Amino acid sequence: MQVGDLVTYMFQRTRWHRGLSVDVGLIVETGKWVGNCDVKVLWTAGDHAGITMKEKSDYLTLVDDSLTT
């Protein structure tokens, strides 16, 4: 994952495929932070809209063709 990628939580893939709402975020920074976090995500939808949070990329998935087709 790199800066500029759109992501959602891995567990929300099935929700996406069913047409339900999911959290969507934009990776704004990569690095190493406490708690094994390695990306900062600006959440653009969902409960954390407008908030930048440190996340572990293992729990995220890219919003790509596999989700949008």
List pLDDT tens digits, range 15-57: 988 988 888 999 999 999 998 999 999 998 767 788 899 999 9
Q: Spell out the domain ranges in the chain.
A: 6-59
Of the pLDDT bands very low, low, confident and very high (cuts 50, 70, 90), residue 11 is very high
Torsion of CA 21, 26, 32, 37, to 10 degrees: 0
Are β-strands 60-62 and 51-55 bridged in parallel, bridged antiparallel, or unpaired? unpaired
pLDDT given at position 33: 94
The pTM is what?
0.85
pLDDT given at position 44: 85
Of the pLDDT bands very low, low, confident and very high (cuts 50, 70, 90), residue 58 is very high
